[in-house]
A and B are shown apart, each in its own frame.
Chain A
Amino acid sequence: MKLITCPINGTRPVSEFVYGGELRLISDPQALDDQTWAEQVFYRNGAPGIKKEWWCHVPSNTWFIAERNTATDETLNTYLYGEEDSR
């Protein structure tokens, strides 16, 4: 089974984790017109590549960010949200 490293709990099989989707930073919703907002909500960055994603280590309920290559399934880096620079 694929391994993922939780920044707190260490390296565990992927079955201990829940995928939370790509990290998407949405700017002030009220500043966007209807069309732009709808695109923000529905449209995805669908092509493969290195993406920042939410993952949760379920037994400890730890959410963190994983930088993962969605073409190869290699996780390049994991860190707690907002602590990217501290690593």
Chain B
Amino acid sequence: MPFRLLKFALSKEHPEPRMFQSRDRLKSSYDAVIIGGGGHGLAAAYYLSRDYDMSNIAVIEKGYIGSGNTGRNTTIIRSNYLTPEGVKFYDESVRLWQDLSQDFDLNLFYSTRGHFTLAHTDSALRTMRWRAEVNKHFGIDSEVVSPDDIQSACPPMNLACGGHAPVLGALYHAPGSIARHDAVAWGYGRGADQRGVEIHQQTEVLGITVQSGRVTGVDTNRGHVSTPKVLCAVAGFTPRILDMVGLRSPLYIHPLQALVSEPMKPWLDPIIVSGSLHVYVSQTARGELVMGASLDPYELHSTRSTFDFAEGLAAHMLELFPFLSHVKIVRQWAGLADMTPDFAPIMGKTPIEGFYLDSGWGTWGFKATPVAGKTMAHTVACDRNHDLIQEFSLSRFKDYQLVGEKGAASVGH
């Protein structure tokens, strides 16, 4: 038993302070306002206060911290992207992830499991080689492996997939990890709070005031605050915020659903993804299988669940893992994915001075949490796009300079 746990047994009172203060009112002005108290918004606040000495900041969250996609995703972390800009960006993220538990002094259960993206067709296999080669070029541990390699990493898997779509190989990414998603928001929240950042939960932004092309303040349901800088980090709600400042974007919102099973004894070590079967799955520290599939097929700004999703995902899961027939699904849920045409995020400065975007996170936002926070903190503090996000600006669409992440649109997550 770790020594640290002794204090709980030895002290009469629970020896833990509040992680985040609750505050009665908003101040009348802040140096920056961050809209969205999810992982990204809190991470930006954390790095702003830690690295740029900016702590007169309000994080404004409509619900509670981590209530959006931070608490709704399937917690997969990887960096095996396709484009150089994507790979560099996510690689930095993985690097930050690995130290996060220690930085926070909070166990995020950051668990390196290895990540297999299965190929069922020769074209998928080709795409994986592409990704592996680009990854290796940037020093990312990523390779195409054979069915035998997959089988030995996950002996019970049925690589024949019921004869419908046999597995031909996989992209293997050893650093692929999972983490306890809620705790990420708490860790960043606590860190920011300790440095003086105000986190205002259950506070809704109603409008943003812009004067001659500059942000001047934010209207909330708890009153107006003035600020020269606003960071929008609200994922699926981005289009609504953009409406407030009169900006348009290519973002379109589709729900992304997920399922979780009853706990069972651990049998699945790696993270398994199959683009063809629309399945990704990992087993949590509690023994549950967390599963997801592809985006819902049409625009919707609601986190409702659909039964057809559960049916389809279960059917595909059983093709790969027929022995899960008796395993029960406990719960399903959904998040709102803000998709972009090239499957890369939209980050950085905008045509409105002092208004910064951290959006376009689609199905890949969780894994970017640390690096998005870090780069956006730099961007907000210096009013200059961080080097790692130069390619991700909103203006790239108008300039037909799309990022090639969609180039091989085989699989996300």
Contact = CB atoms under 8 A, between A and B. Distances in A.
Interface of A: 1-2, 13-15, 18-19, 22, 35, 38-39, 42-44, 46-48, 51, 53, 70-73
Interface residues of B, number: 26
Interface in B218-257: 238-240, 242-243, 248-253
Interface of B: 238-240, 242-243, 248-253, 297-302, 304, 306-308, 341, 397-400
Given A15-B308, A42-B250, A47 B243 contact: yes
Contact of A38 (B239, B306, B400): B400
Q: Which 4 A-B pairs have the closest CB atoms?
A: A46-B239, A19-B298, A48-B301, A42-B397
Given A47-B243, A48-B240, A70 B301 contact: yes
Contacts of B239: 44, 46-48
Contacts of B400: 38
A85 to B, nearest CB: 25
B397 A47 contact: no
A43 B398 CA distance: 9
B238 A46 contact: yes
A23 to B, nearest CB: 12
Contact of B249 (A22, A43, A53, A73): A43
B352 to A, nearest CB: 15
B252 A71 contact: no
A47 B307 CA distance: 26
A86 B78 CA distance: 53
A49 to B, nearest CB: 9
Given A44-B250, A47-B239, A73 B300 contact: yes
Contacts of B300: 70, 73
B397 A73 contact: no
B398 A35 contact: yes
B336 to A, nearest CB: 10
B398 A42 contact: yes
Contact of B306 (A1, A46, A71): A1
A22 B341 CA distance: 15
Contacts of A70: 253, 299-301
A20 to B, nearest CB: 9
Given A43-B397, A46-B239, A47-B243, A72 B298 contact: no
Contacts of B248: 39, 43-44, 46
B301 A71 contact: yes
Given A70-B300, A72-B302, A46 B397 contact: no
26 contacts: A1-B306, A14-B308, A19-B297, A19-B298, A19-B299, A35-B398, A38-B398, A38-B399, A42-B250, A43-B250, A44-B239, A44-B250, A44-B251, A46-B249, A46-B251, A46-B252, A48-B253, A48-B301, A51-B299, A53-B298, A70-B253, A70-B299, A70-B301, A72-B302, A73-B302, A73-B304
Contacts of B243: 47
Contacts of B397: 38, 42-43
B308 A47 contact: no
A70 B237 CA distance: 13
Given A70-B253, A72-B302, 10 more contacts: A42-B341, A42-B398, A44-B250, A46-B242, A46-B249, A47-B240, A48-B240, A48-B301, A51-B299, A70-B300
B349 to A, nearest CB: 18
A38 B240 CA distance: 21
B216 to A, nearest CB: 22
Instruction: Name the residue among A18, A38, A48 with the largest chain B CB count within 10 angstroms.
Output: A48
